[in-house]
């Protein structure tokens, strides 16, 4: 964290700022702490955040968690993107604790990302930890790199989806999931 703070201080100088002025005195340390939090997903795995919260279900029902607030950082510009995620899976014998779904989303969102990869990583991880018959993941996000620079399209929203197993192979399963998350 000390090295990151020093780099931020150098960046302030390169931008034409005075890191010794009152409002910026502690900015390098604050930015370093902020970046450590926003990228903590590099030091976590889905298995760690799952923490053995796998339970017998006895039936193969669809489980859906939607409106999971998501915050990530674009790997191209290091600007935030944010929105919601919906995750659905059809269990075979096991389900995971509902909060663990959101924690798995955060493992991958708290990295420098592109939304397309984030969507696939979450779907693959849910499939892996649940042994599900199928998994569906949909992200709807707004990207500050689109909104405040470049094309400056403030109302743009990107939607990505990943469908695995029965969610990809069975139109009825996919349709049920998509209707449940609307």
At 79, which CATH number? 3.30.1130.10
- The answer to whether residues 31 and 65 belong to one domain is no
| Residue among 48, 75, 116, 169 flagged as catalytic | 75
The pLDDT assigned to 159 comes to 98
- The answer to whether residues 11 and 71 belong to one domain is no
| Residue among 47, 61, 76, 157 flagged as catalytic | 76
Q: Would residue 173 count as lying in a domain?
A: yes
- How many domains does the chain contain in total? 2
Task: Report the alpha-carbon distance of residue 94 to residue 55 in Å, rounded.
Answer: 5
Q: Which residues of 115-145 are buried (b: 16+ CB within 10 A; e: fewer)?
A: beebbbbbbbbbbebbebbbbbbbbbbbbeb
Query: Is 75 designated active site?
Result: yes
Task: Report the alpha-carbon distance of residue 145 to residue 128 in Å, rounded.
Answer: 32
For residue 74, give its domain range: 49-181
- CATH label of the domain that carries residue 31: 1.10.286.10
- The answer to whether residues 16 and 64 belong to one domain is no
- The answer to whether residues 104 and 158 belong to one domain is yes
The pLDDT assigned to 54 comes to 87
- The answer to whether residues 60 and 128 belong to one domain is yes
- The answer to whether residues 33 and 54 belong to one domain is no
The pLDDT assigned to 94 comes to 86
The tens place of each residue's pLDDT in the chain, 182 residues long, gives: 899 999 999 999 999 999 999 999 999 999 999 999 999 999 999 999 999 898 988 777 899 999 999 999 999 999 999 999 999 999 988 899 999 999 999 999 999 999 999 999 999 999 999 999 999 999 999 999 999 999 999 999 999 999 999 999 999 999 999 999 99
The pLDDT assigned to 59 comes to 72
- The answer to whether residues 56 and 108 belong to one domain is yes
| Residue among 85, 115, 133, 141 flagged as catalytic | 115
Task: Report the alpha-carbon distance of residue 147 to residue 156 in Å, rounded.
Answer: 7
- The answer to whether residues 92 and 162 belong to one domain is yes
Radius of gyration of the chain (CA): 19
Task: Report the alpha-carbon distance of residue 13 to residue 5 in Å, rounded.
Answer: 13
Q: Would residue 43 count as lying in a domain?
A: no
């Amino acid at each position: 964290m000390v090295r990151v703070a020093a780099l931020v201080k150098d960046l302030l100088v390169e931008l034409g700022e005075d890191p010794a002025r009152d409002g910026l005195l502690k900015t390098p340390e604050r930015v370093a702490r902020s970046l450590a939090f926003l990228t903590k997903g590099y030091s976590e795995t889905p298995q760690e955040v799952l923490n053995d919260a796998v339970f017998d279900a006895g039936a193969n029902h669809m489980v859906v968690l939607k409106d999971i607030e998501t915050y990530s950082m674009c790997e191209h510009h290091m600007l935030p993107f944010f929105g919601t995620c919906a995750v659905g899976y059809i269990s075979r014998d096991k389900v995971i604790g509902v909060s663990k779904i959101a924690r798995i989303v955060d493992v991958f969102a708290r990295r420098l990302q592109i939304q397309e990869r984030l969507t696939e990583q979450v779907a693959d991880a849910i499939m892996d930890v649940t042994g599900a018959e199928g998994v569906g993941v949909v992200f709807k996000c707004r990207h500050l790199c689109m909104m405040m620079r470049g094309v400056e399209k403030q109302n743009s929203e990107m939607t990505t989806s990943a469908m695995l197993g029965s969610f990809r192979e069975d139109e009825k399963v996919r349709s049920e999931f998509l209707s449940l998350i609307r």
